[in-house]
Chain A
């Protein structure tokens, strides 16, 4: 699978970022594994440690398996003023995980994000590609329950 993705791009070093993106996006657990790095390393002839350096430099990549639903709560000042810290506490309690962790059932990963660009609806979070604004603790409960039910 990783080889196929690599094969779509010319084996030049500037394609590293694109390959990493596609591998992460198409992985059911949204991350880049050691095995993937090894395949990319062979394909692009870049040592694994360099790829790992790039991976960890950019916050958008993950080297650990993540949940099916990646929750990214905005931690920028506008959201904070509108109570994002309460939302964060709520999320942690509801999911029983800390920031950066994934629930046991593999359903949720909790992350923080810089401004998501919808400050008008602060506090805001994204779950995968969907934006949820004007969050309250009740709303968080609803959203989580709904996703859990729908699996």
Chain B
């Protein structure tokens, strides 16, 4: 048992564990100490000084985010002196900041803006000393605008400690200190895996996605183009919170209605190709199990994870499923199967994906992903960009009447929808792989052991005729490292992986916690969105991918069977080894089936 201590914050008595900081104790009690660099999901960087409080008996104010509580502590959070001090700090930050709130991607979600607002700070109180620096727009996914950076260090913590990618660092010192990539070469020439976690945790608009909204509007308004759209599982549980509805509410049908109002020609759903992925990956998994291979099969749907694997674990690339991600399967099929069925010239099809993810923008531009004869996916919009489009189109999302998607590539099962949460791909795969191995249906399909936010989850599923199926699930790339290191070690020392089947997602919480998700979210919010997906799964009439009628239809009419030559051509891919220092391709390490 942790020891507890008695503290008084603004006269309110609290009994809290002695391991807590003052800010954690205050938050627990709903006392809001102003802060800027502190985020509850991350270790404190204590860079900004805004969270200062007075402690009786202490001559100088202390930072609440990094000062632990102690027995008998009497803390005051709001005095004239503290308010004046905080105000001056924020004035100083704003004097070295490009203040352009109305056009800023973070507008209304910016923690600096709301702090300045709350403290009544005049942005022009001090003359501007900003020396405009070049915006880093080298990446397909992320824009880094130093002119809006307050050097809080959250992105550095997230990139180095949560994701262990090591793309961002503090450079120089004193007043020259700023965030940079090594040698200032830009995000595109760093090991950055485009996960976008830095954009989600950045308190300002300094880190954001590279927007493709304009290009998508242009395609929509071009009468010669047929614009088809897919939406990832996590999107349907991440819109409600932005439009005055309860966090985590499933809004799939409002989402379809909004897309139709925006003007997309064909409204489909990534959940359909999530089910298809299970057929392809599940078949691959079963073949591997039957072959007696000692190497695991690892999931391949998370593009941040794939680039990470190519950079840090290329020696294990042959263990990663060759199945493309649901997004890329959809892209390839939109310009082949869909074009054929609808009798549309594939050259006129513009394939748009709405994703909770910034890394999908990078994935869509991978040169190898053009098996349809065209770049399979043309544009990727993040959840944040989609929300902006809904607002630009003046749609009252909360009250919009529900509509259905178009038929063909939109039907989905519960298995497809839980792809959006950590453990969901594993659970969906087990539901179908079981049948593929045994010929029987799995009855207990709620696989609780792989649900939830624990960093690494393990489970053993008895499969008649095979034995114990050992699986592991990791989310967040520091957790992926734990699992990958164990696999590497197991193969080196015992010639055997500790697990048969492994799911890895780059973002903490899975796609519901993706780098393209609405700003201002935290692990607790990610969990709520995930619960929304499990709720939808429970309510859907079909909950196993192999029972999806549209999936059956596409195999009958087009692909033949899972892992067929056409499936390999359109739905599978191969991987590369990348340089640890700059992320560029060094060589191809696995090859495409022909």
Contact = CB atoms under 8 A, between A and B. Distances in A.
A37 interface: yes
A34 B183 contact: yes
Interface in A69-123: none
Interface stretch (B168-176, B298-306, B369-377): B168-176
A15 interface: no
Interface stretch (A17-25, A48-56, A135-143): A48-56
A50 B180 CA distance: 11
A55 B574 CA distance: 37
Name the interface size band of chain B.
Answer: 10 to 19
B167 interface: yes
A47 B183 contact: no
B166 interface: yes
A50 to B, nearest CB: 6
Most buried by A among B169, B190, B191: B169
Residue from the set B167, B182, B191, B580 with the largest chain A CB neighbour count within 10 Å: B182
Contact of A50 (B166, B181, B183): B166
Contact of B173 (A48, A49, A50, A57): A57
A48 B581 CA distance: 6
A63 interface: yes
Contacts of A38: 580-581
Nearest to B181: A49
Contacts of A34: 182-183, 185, 581
A56 B172 contact: yes
Contact of B168 (A37, A41, A49): A49
Contact of B167 (A37, A49, A63): A49
Contacts of B183: 34, 37, 52, 63
B172 A41 contact: no
Contact of A41 (B160, B167, B170, B581): B581
Contacts of A63: 183
Interface residues of A, number: 14
Interface string B490-520: 0000000000000000000000000000000
Contacts of A51: 182
Nearest to B189: A34
Given A48-B166, A52-B182, A52-B183, A37 B581 contact: yes
A48 B172 contact: no
B171 A41 contact: no
A96 B580 CA distance: 39
A52 B580 contact: no
Given A34-B183, A63-B183, A48 B580 contact: yes
A37 B172 contact: no
Contacts of A52: 169, 171, 180, 182-183
A47 B169 CA distance: 10
A53 B171 contact: yes
B190 A49 contact: yes
Contacts of B169: 49-50, 52-53
A104 B484 CA distance: 49
Interface in B64-114: none
A49 B166 contact: yes
Contacts of B171: 52-53, 56
A51 B170 CA distance: 11
A44 B331 CA distance: 43
Interface string B150-188: 000000000010000011111111000000111101000
A131 to B, nearest CB: 27
A74 B580 CA distance: 40
A146 to B, nearest CB: 34
Interface string A6-34: 00000000000000000000000000001
A49 B172 contact: no
Contacts of B167: 49
A41 B173 contact: no
B173 A37 contact: no
B172 A47 contact: no
B172 A57 contact: yes
A84 B34 CA distance: 46
Contacts of B166: 47-50
B576 to A, nearest CB: 18
Interface string B183-208: 10100001100000000000000000
A127 B169 CA distance: 32
Nearest to A47: B166
A76 to B, nearest CB: 17
A62 to B, nearest CB: 12
A21 to B, nearest CB: 18
A57 to B, nearest CB: 5
A37 B172 CA distance: 16
Contacts of A53: 169-171
A38 B191 CA distance: 12
A38 B584 CA distance: 14
A56 B190 CA distance: 17
Contacts of B191: 47-49
A48 B191 CA distance: 10
A81 to B, nearest CB: 24
Which of B167, B168, B580, B581 is packed against the most chain A CB atoms within 10 Å? B581
Given A37-B581, A57-B172, 18 more contacts: A34-B182, A34-B185, A34-B581, A37-B183, A47-B160, A48-B182, A48-B580, A48-B581, A49-B166, A49-B167, A49-B190, A52-B169, A52-B171, A52-B183, A53-B169, A56-B172, A56-B173, A57-B170
16 contacts: A41-B580, A41-B581, A47-B160, A48-B581, A49-B160, A49-B168, A49-B181, A50-B160, A52-B169, A52-B171, A52-B182, A52-B183, A53-B170, A56-B173, A56-B180, A57-B172
Q: Which 7 A-B pairs have the closest CB atoms?
A: A47-B166, A52-B182, A53-B169, A49-B169, A56-B171, A49-B182, A48-B182
